[in-house]
Structures are given as C-alpha cells and as structure tokens.
Amino acid sequence: MKKIISTLIIAATFQSGLHAQSDSKPSEEQLYRPNFHFTPKKGWMNDPNGLYYKDDAYHLFFQYYPDGNKWGPMHWGHATSKDLVKWEETDIALYPDDLGYIFSGSAVVDKNNTSGFGDSKNNPVVAIYTYHNPNREKDGKIDVESQGIAYSLDNSKTWTKYSSNPVLKNPGIRDFRDPKVIWDAKRKQWVMALAAQDRAHLYTSKNLKNWTFQSEFGKDLGGHGGVWECPDLFPLKLEGSNEEKWVLIVNINPGGPNNGSAGQYFVGDFDGKTFKIDELFTKQLNKEKAAWLDWGKDNYASVSFDNVPQDKRIIIGWMSNWEYAQEVPTETWRSSMTVAREVSLKKTKDGYILKNIPVAQLKKYHEKSIRKTINIKAENQLVGKSEIDLSKAIIDLDLKKMSSGKYTFALKNTLGEQVLFGIDNKAKELFIDRSKSGKTDFGKNYATSVTKAPLSQVYSNAKMKLIIDKASIEIFFNDGEKVLTEIFFPNENFSELTLNTDTNGSSLVFNAYQLNIK
C-alpha cells in the first residue's frame, strides 16, 4: 500500500511538473531582466544623469517615467552602488514641477561649498538639469528649455530645488539642454557644457547659480546627422604620459555610424573659456568625419561620473537607441544601462583614440572559469550548454595568426536563434548581426542591417573582451580601441558559443568567466 501511494505521488508530481513545463513560457523577467546591467524595477528609463561618487558610494540617476513603459513626463530615478557593478534602485530623486519636466543633466560634489547650500563639513551635492516646459511646447514657443539646480545634503536621500530657478534662461534656442558641469581646478571655476541644437555651448560660474556664456563649439565639426545632446567636457592624461588633453563627448540623435543614436568625441585643448580641437584631431576628422565612442547601435547618452577616486574617468551609457527604444519587447520596464567603463586616451600618428574598457571591479565577480587553447578549424565549439552560464559571462578572446578571412562567433540557443559577431579581415571590419536573434520585428531599423565598424588594417593578432548578459553584448576590441554594444531578445536565453571561419592556421586562447551576480 505504502508503495502504491508513493508511486501515485511520484506520478502526480511528475505529471504536474510536465504540465507546468509545457504550459509555461519563460517570462520576460526570466528572458530579459539583466543579471547585472542596471534596469529599473518598472517603468521607462533613458539617459544616465547626475553620475557622481561620494562617501563610498556611486550614484546613478536616470531619465525616468515611472507610470508607463514609454517616454513620458521626466523624473530623475536614482540608484546607488558600492562598486559600479551591483546597483540598488532607491526613491525617485527629482519630480517634475511648475517649470517643467526634469530632463538630463549632471551632479557635482561642491567641495568648497561655492554654492553656499551646505557648509565646509557637509559638502552639498548639486544637480544641474534641464527644465523642459510642456505647456510652452504646446503653445508652440521656442524658449521651452532652461537650466535649473537642486541640492542634497544627505547623500541624495532628499533634494531641495533652488528657489530662484531657472539659473540659466533660454536664449531663443529650441534645443537647449543636458548641462554637464565639472570643476576646473586650474581656474577655480565651474564649467558647463550644454547642447544647443547643432553645437555645444560653454558657460562658467563661480557658484553654480550665476552662469556666464563663454564660447560655442562644433557647428561644422564632426557628426551632424541629428541634434546634439548630452555633451561632456573633461581633461584626460594621454596614455603613458603626463600630457593633458581635453575631451568633449557629444551624443547625437540620429546620425550614428550604424543609424540612430550614438556618441562621438572630440580631442583638443581648453583654456578656461574655449575648447579647440588640435592639429592632429583636425587631420583625423578630415579622414574620418567623426570619431565614435561606440559603433554598436545601443550605447547612447554616455556621460561620466564626477569625483571618482584616483581621477579615473568612468562613463555609463543608455543601452538602447531612439529608433526603437519605445518598442523593445519588454512590458514591465524598458531598457538598461551599459556596464560602467573606464576611458583612457591613446595618441597614435593617425590621431587620438578614446578607449573604453569595463571597470576592473567586475573581476571580483568572476566565479567559474574555463580556459581553452584552440587550433581554429572551420567550425569550433567554444562554450557548450552546461559549461558556464552565458547569460552572465565575461569572455576574453585572444586570436593569433589570423589570415585575411572572416571569423564569425555565434551566441546560440536550442531554438536555432543566434547573434553573430566577429572580425572580417577581408572586408576590414568588425560586425554584429542580430537578424536571427529572436524577436526582431519591432521598431524601426532594429535588425534590418548588419552593424559594422571599419578597421584600418588586416589584423593577424587581435583581442576581444565580451560582456554578455541575457539581452546584451558589449564587445571591446583590442583593449577598448573599438567598441560595439548591442541588445537582443531571443525566445530562450543563449547557451552556446561557437566560432566559424573560412580560413585555417589561426589559433585562439580563450578565457570565459561566469559571474557570481544576481
């Protein structure tokens, strides 16, 4: 009798298990909620805003509409992190008010209390953001956007908006937004870079409240396929030298190298009032038209943190593209951020390269690893199904003795869906092809073309670092000299990685790490 009962229990359990399996499709949480890229619990998110470090914590604010999954009246959402990897979402920091929605902007740690909002013991954090006034917009007015400030004395738990906002009125320019402020230590002044339609405006201030226009930059320089947005001006030492240059990141939408939104950069000098590209960068622009921070379709509005220890310049971008961001197939939340990346500046005889690589803090999450050395054949299995979890992985690829053929890596699942990427030494380019990656028929131009990044030479040796989450890949070629970031929406998480090639004689050293992260 006992046996019969236990057999019945086993049969019933098995059946209900089967039933549950055949009925239940994986949820969007299981399929697309990133394992380690920041995404809000619910609602719409776009640009990162107000990035700063203070008192052992990194702060990330973001363009946020909590009541819907499409763009709407903008707030600043807020998340914090001890290590730039694990983020914890906290309360909304800034709400729209009578002056308008709270558009993109920055935050600074006011160490000398120049604003007078705090005191010498308790340094205020001051947020500088754009007010976008929907009523003036409806009335067809030009002066829709102005700049406001707010401060926090308790590490961003609470914010007080300045009573005399706006601090910078609209001068008659329709697109006039996204203030990014830094402390210019040499001249003891605050410098604000602001996007003004098709160029950047620079302003200075002694107290973050009164701003003086100094100069404009870029009307006929670089990419101009769309409006300029989210600029970021900062100094950076050249790699291996003490020489300092100034970098201006400018995001544009549309007009990216593979359509839609993207970030470009300029390199030159800043004298406290004017930013000018130098001779070498001028030559570079004559050849390349624009220098791109990331060639993939999904890294927009990248800007940097204020006050990072050891003067590191760390950036985060929004991992989407205005071409289809509002249609991506998630309902509860929309979009995530890139991993935090450290930028550095390399000078070559052909120009400057603004390299970016994932922050070192990711290494402490390495859990399980595999290492292989492979003589590359036509078809090579790199990661098999049960080896490591490819929905939270970092993979270092070291390719040697390559010939002028094509090296195609594929992330695959058991449904036959795949993301292809790699190096085409014949065409001299890097590529990502997500046309067969699962859900692709939403939005505009999501998967209608292969993403490409040109290479200046045929590479016989090359390195690639891959950061793979459930719904994204970030590819860092040769220590971040070229970067491609893209999102995807498979109907089952990817579980295999392969490499196919049409040449022979090459080899690959391959290190893959599963991350211990939730």
Catalytic residues: 47
Question: Residue 200 contacts by C-beta under 8 Å, 6 or more apart in sequence?
Answer: 193, 194, 216, 217, 218, 228, 231, 233, 248, 250, 275
- Enter the DSSP assignment of 170: -
Neighbours of 210 (CB within 10 A): 11
**In Å, how far are 6, 189, 304, 308, 310 from 123, measured between CA atoms?**
68, 17, 20, 15, 19
Q: Which of residues 497-516 bind ligand FRU (CB under 6 A)?
A: none
As a whole number of angstroms, the distance between CA 191 and CA 185 comes to 10
Number of residues that bind ligand FRU (CB under 6 A): 12
Rounded Cα gap, residues 202 and 215, in angstroms = 5
Q: Are 491 and 439 in contact (CB under 8 A)?
A: yes
Nearest to ligand FRU of 229, 342 (CB atom): 229
Task: Report the alpha-carbon distance of residue 144 to residue 317 in Å, rounded.
Answer: 26
Shortest approach of ligand FRU to residue 46 CB, angstroms? Answer: 5
CB closer to ligand FRU out of 130 and 514: 130
Please tell me whether residue 74 binds ligand FRU under the rule CB under 6 A. Answer: yes
The full DSSP string for 190-206 is EEEEEEETTEEEEEEES
List the interface residues with ligand FRU, window 219-238 (CB under 6 A).
229-230
Q: Quote the CA–CA distance of 417 and 230 in Å, as a whole number.
A: 35
- C-beta closer to ligand FRU: residue 264 or 493: 264
By beta-carbon proximity to ligand FRU, the closer residue of 229 and 429 is 229
Residue whose CB is less far from ligand FRU, 167 or 301: 301
Applying CB under 6 A, which of residues 69, 104, 336, 514 lies at the interface with ligand FRU? 104
Q: Which of residues 457-496 bind ligand FRU (CB under 6 A)?
A: none
SS3 assignment, position 280: helix
Rounded to whole angstroms, the Cα distance separating 316 from 210 reads 29
Least distance from ligand FRU to the Cβ atom of residue 242, Å: 35
Interface with ligand FRU includes 46 (CB under 6 A)? yes
| Maximum C-alpha span of the chain | 91
Residues 387-416 binding ligand FRU (CB under 6 A) are: none
Considering the complex, what minimum distance in angstroms separates the CB of residue 301 from ligand FRU?
5
Tell me the closest approach of the beta carbon of residue 277 to ligand FRU, in angstroms.
23
Bridge partners of residue 423, in order along the sequence = 407, 430
Phi/psi for 442 (5° steps) reads -120, 160
* Min dist. Cβ of residue 518 to ligand FRU (A): 29
Rounded least distance, CB 55 to ligand FRU, Å? 28
Q: Beta strand 291-292 with 262-270: parallel, antiparallel or unpaired?
A: antiparallel
Residue with Cβ nearer ligand FRU (92 or 374)? 92
48 or 257: CB nearest ligand FRU: 48
47 vs 342, which CB is nearer to ligand FRU?
47
* Minimum separation from the CB atom of position 229 to ligand FRU (A): 4
Exactly one of 115, 130, 299, 501 binds ligand FRU (CB under 6 A); that residue is 130
Report if residue 361 touches ligand FRU, rule: CB under 6 A.
no
Pick one of 103, 203, 295, 431: the residue that binds ligand FRU (CB under 6 A). Answer: 103
CB of 65 to ligand FRU, least distance (A): 9
Q: Tell me: does residue 178 bind ligand FRU (CB under 6 A).
A: yes
Interface of this chain with ligand FRU, residues 277 to 336, rule: CB under 6 A = 301
**Encoded amino acid at 348, one letter:** T
Beta-sheet strands, E only, within 143-218: 145-152, 160-161, 176-184, 189-196, 199-205, 212-217
Return the residue of 75, 78, 177, 465 that touches ligand FRU, per CB under 6 A.
177
C-alpha gyration radius of the chain: 24
Q: Which residues bind ligand FRU (CB under 6 A)?
A: 46-47, 63, 74, 103-104, 130, 177-178, 229-230, 301
